[in-house]
Each structure stands twice: as structure tokens, then as C-alpha cells.
Structure 1
Amino acid sequence: MRAVKQLLLFGWEQAWSCLFPVVIFASLAITKWVPMPFLPRYDWLLIICLFMQWWMVRAGLETRDELKVISLFHVIGLALELFKVHMGSWSYPEEGYSKVFGVPLYSGFMYASVASYLCQAWRRLKVELVRWPSSWLVVPLASAIYLNFFTHHYWMDIRWWLSGLVILVFWKAWVRYEVNGTRYRMPLALSFVLIGFFIWVAENIATYFSAWEYPNQAEAWSLVHLGKVSSWLLLVIVSFLIVATLKRVKKGSDESRSFRGEESSPKVQGRFGSGKLYS
């Protein structure tokens, strides 16, 4: 019974962490089936996302530092959307005043909602990273993964090579989290896979509600190819690495910064690197 209780509490914390994505899904569903007055659907979605973001900061559900991270993801996601739509990877067929080069501005919030989830879950579950690799490995790897989303249209797709590098770089890395006062841990690479899979599930829901449209969905909705999990997996890794790196920078600027070794006592102080963790 304790295991069931812990699982339910974990699910509850995850649900609260997904508040922003849930609002986006609900908005997609409502605006698809309920005619919206005065403005096209895409513009209403942008207004709803902007209001939701304002309310979450106003209500204290997100901090100003988290808002900065989420805004960064909005820009990164919007840049990717502009390129992918231009290349014909997917499209936004409906009309809207807030569309730029065929991309509605609300689309950036779908990427920002992933960052919102990561920030919320990080705080609610008191996440700590164990044996986080050096920034000299993390930053180039994240950059290469993001750039591959662009360059594979003109050059070879190296996502599987990058996936192999992710396994090598994070082979010894773990994520620790807390549920109801009890600490748990799992391999960091496994957490990447799980988040990527559930985003793929969310993608199917989003395309069903016409958030965007793949070429094979032009006539009728169909399940998004399972191969897209690899794309989301890599995007989750980029998201996670950015959030983790920014948290490291934030901790480095705090006077009360502390680092603990996995094998040593929790009070042991140490430099950021192999065998150390940070929250």
C-alpha cells in the first residue's frame, strides 16, 4: 500500500508540474470544437498562453528566473518552427493574424511548456543530479543535437550518433528525486527516454486537436510515427541540458552554494564534476 501511495503522490506532483501543458491541450480541444468569436483560433490560443504565463508568475507557481528559462525555450522553439515549416516538415493550415512566415506565435509556447514542466518538476520533486558531466561535454553535445534538427535537411542525419554520445556521456549520471520525504533515483538516460515517450503521446493528442499538421495527416488524422520518439528524445535532452546548465550557473552565483558527493556524507563539499551532485 505504501508503494501505491507513493506512486499516486508522484503522479500528483507530475500532474501539477504539467499544469501549463494541460492548459494548452484543453485550449486546443475547446477551440477546435467550439467556434471562437472575433479572432481566428490561432490568435485565441496565443492570448490564452500569454494569460496563462502571466497568471502562473502572478500566482507564484513560477518564479521570475523560471520565466527567463521558459522565454528562452519559446525563442528556441519558435526558431525551430520557422525553419521546419519552411522546409515542409509540418504546417499550420488555419488562418491567423499572429502568424509569422506561416508559423503562429502560440507554437513557441508548446516548447516553453516543456521547460515549464521541467522547472516545476525540478522544484516539486527536489531533483538532484548525480555525477553530472563537465560543461565542456554537455554544452557542445546540446548544441550539436539542436543544430542537427536544421542541418540534416542539407547533410546526413546524425541523430543516432548523437544518441550514442548521450549514452556515453551520461552513462554514470543519475537523477535523484523526493516523494513524500523518501528519496529515489533512476539513471538519467532512462528519464530522458520516459519524458521523450510521453511527449510523443502528447504530440499525438496535439495533432488530433489540429495544433499542427504533418503531411500524412492532411486528409485525415493518423498516429504520429513512432520514430518521432527519437526526435523528441533528443529535444528533451537539449531542454534538460539547458535547464540543468542554467541551474548550475544560478547556483554558482549564490553565496550558499553547496555540492554533495554520492558516496560521501551529504555534508561534504566539493567541486562540480564527476561524483558530485547539485539540485
Structure 2
Amino acid sequence: MEQILKSEIHPDPRGVLGAAAARARASRTLPLRRKKDLPESGRVLTEDGSADSSGSSWSQSLIKDNDGVKPMKIAPEGHGESVLPSMQLEPVTVQSRCTWITAYSENLYVSFHDEEWGVPVYDDQRIFELLTLSAALSEFSWPTILSRRDKFRKLLDNFNPAIVAKFTEKKINSLKASGSPISEEKLRAVVGNARQILKVIEEFGTFSNYIWSFVNHKPIVNGFRHACQVPMRNPKAELMSNDMMRRGFRCVGPTIIYSFMQAAGIVNDHLSSCFRFRDCSLMFQPV
């Protein structure tokens, strides 16, 4: 009897189906009989396996062994205690990302993909920041750049173009000596680009208006299925690059500009299977 009860309380490794099979074996081995003095609200198991119940949460089944009859409580699901272990499984939500984000990707890179990359940006300082970080791709990868992002912001006054444009030669040498995260050439390009941004703002009202004018103020949504389909540049990037270079911007080749457009949400290059694809497509602000 003790062995039979243990098989009821501790199901075999096969789980619920294994436990049900164990109970079936127990019912074949030990006959059940009706207990006569149960309250009317009780529910009991009879010899033929049927149940007599009238809505009670508790019932008793009787298992007979050599020593007599012993009651064993059985609780319906969600009521009281049960001799069967709880097998509640938490729902698992799997978000499908662009395939270049893998289980081995750094957390900063994953967060950048999930929260920023492809989101349309309209703030001049943010656009200046993403333009500068994208230019650094000629020297570093996105994970490396993102790991140095706080240092970029500290050295470049949170990418305020009005402040960076006033950096003197002494200031540039000071930043270089304090450990600039980019080369001296790139640093000087950043200062020069800040000065050009101020000129663009005088002409277009905001740097954002100028940048978004190349796509008629509406993001390009590609919806590629595979990473190999994502280009390194496109005609709009070439057009923007040429115009920026004509205005005196530096480190703004078409490949760099296309990376910038992706980061700033001017182009939505999330794969169509990525959970961010649709969200980013709906975030632009119509003019």
C-alpha cells in the first residue's frame, strides 16, 4: 500500500501522463468502494469509476489494503491541496530580431537594436550624435562605439553643435590628450561638422529638416527578408553624401551616410521578421 501511495504522490518522470497511468494501475490493483457516511455535498469514486458529486470542493476516495480502508483526499484543480504536484508552466515569449543580433551579441548592442536603431529621430543633437557615431564605424564596430558612447557625450558636450562648433585648437588638443575615443582626424571632422550644422540650421530652420528633406520627410521602409539583401548604400545616401560634402561636411561618404540613415530611422532596415520592423514603420512624424 505504501508503495502505491508513493506512486500517486510522486509521478514518474513522464509527467502528467505517467501519473495518470500510475493511478490507472492502482485502480486496477485495488478496488474502490463507496463510503456511506459522507455529507451530501461530498463526491466519491464508486466501484465502476463514476463520480457522485454535488458541487463540493473536496471529496474522498477510499483505497483498501490489507489493513482496512484508508481515505485519501483528492482536490479538483484550483481548490485546496492535491496529492499531485503543480505543473503550471510560465508562458514563453520569444521575440524575433534581425539575424545579425545573436545569442552572443553584447547587451548594449541588443538594446540599441531594440530601442534606437531604426527609430525616426528629429532632434538636432540626437541627429548630430548618430552622424558622429556612424562616422566612427570606419574605425570601430557598433558594439565598440556603443561601449564608448558615454565618453563621446562627455567630451563633446552631449553633442550640442552650438558648443562643439566653438572648440578651439587648445580644446581639441586637450581632448586628444585626455584620451579621445576617436582619432584626431575624426575629432577635427566632428568640430568642423558642428560648424556646418549651424549654417544648415540658418538655412533650413533645423538640421532635422535638412536631413529629412532627402526622403521627403518620410522613412524608406525596405522590408527585406534576409540580411544579405540589406545594402551598404542607396541612391538617397549618395545624394545626401554629395550635398553634405559640397557644404563642407567631412567623413560623410555614402556608406557612412547610409549607416547613419539606418540608425536615425530615415531608412527602416529591420528585417520583415523582426519584431521592431512594424513598430519603427509607424513612428515617423508626418510633416
In the superposition, the TM-score normalised over structure 2's length comes to 0.24
Higher relative contact order (CA 8 A, sep 6+): 1
Structure showing the higher helix proportion among its residues: 1
In the superposition, the TM-score normalised over structure 1's length comes to 0.25
